[in-house]
Amino acid sequence: MTHLLPNGDRGQTLPIYIWLTAILLFAAFAFFAFAQAASARNGAQSAADAAALAAAQDSRDELMRGLAGTIGRDDQWLDWLNGDLFKGTGATAAAERLAAENDSTVQGDAQPATANGFPGYRVAIETRYTVGDSIIPGTETQHAKAHATAVIEPRCTFAPGADPKKPVELDCGGELVDIDPEDFNSDDLPDASVLFSVHLAE
């Protein structure tokens, strides 16, 4: 048997339904706004990570060129394996290219940085896109920002007192690399990733 609410009770219930519906709609829009902001932050961090890695990789390439150019010509060539002789002239440009690919811009230059004792770069970026329209005022003009640091970690060791004028065996993370300064060709060097690891600082 169906019981009908008195007209007075139905009149009191309707505003409650409207109020609850409004709360639910507001909560849904608020959740969407926070999701938008989180997505923008994630995109910004990905762009910063990529830009910092690009800066460090560019300097790693510089290290490889310097190493190849000094073996057999300079008795200090082993010093290049320390990973800190780069000048970094192309680091900012490399970071800017990767940031642009991620719809972002580098703020300032790629800044030289040291983390865990390894040299590298700290890069700050800002997205070209905004968080987007939402119920939170100002998000339509707000750009996400992030920063990241990437380092160049040397991977090779050699015997103490090694003579740079004679053949030297490098132990690069378990991979052995033989370098003979008197019979050296740049093709004798392995991939850059064997000699130097580029990674984000923890």
> What share of the chain in percent tops pLDDT 70?
75
Burial 9-47 (b: 16+ CB within 10 A, else e): eeeeeeeeeeeeeeeeeeeeeeeebeebbeebeebbbeb
Phi, psi dihedrals of residue 131, rounded to the nearest 5°: -65, -35
Range of the domain at 49: 8-200
pLDDT at 75 over 90: yes
* Per-residue confidence band for 43, with pLDDT thresholds at 50, 70 and 90: confident
Q: Is residue 52 part of a domain?
A: yes
Report yes or no on 3 lying in a domain: no
Q: Is residue 146 part of a domain?
A: yes
Count: domains in the chain: 1
Is the per-residue pLDDT at 25 higher than 90? no
Nearest to 154 by CA among 196, 198, 192, 200: 196
- Which tens digits make up the pLDDT trace of 102-159? 999 999 999 999 999 999 999 999 998 876 544 454 555 578 899 999 999 999 999 9
Residue 83 has pLDDT above 60, yes or no: yes
Mean pLDDT of 87-103: 96
User: For the chain, what is the mean pLDDT?
Assistant: 85
Q: What is the per-residue pLDDT for 102?
A: 94
Can you read off the two tokens belonging to residue 67? Answer: 């190493």
Instruction: State the pLDDT at residue 130.
Output: 75
- Is 107 part of any domain? yes
pLDDT for the residue 166: 95
**pLDDT at residue 7 greater than cutoff 60:** no
Of the given ranges (12-16, 73-77, 111-115, 158-162), which has the lowest mean pLDDT? 12-16
Residue 2 maps to a domain = no
Please report whether residue 187 resides in a domain. Answer: yes
**Residue 90 confidence class, pLDDT cut points 50, 70, 90:** very high
Query: How large is the average pLDDT for residues 12-36?
Result: 58
Note whether residue 168 is domain-resident: yes
pLDDT at 133: 47
Q: Looking at the domain assignment, is residue 1 inside a domain?
A: no
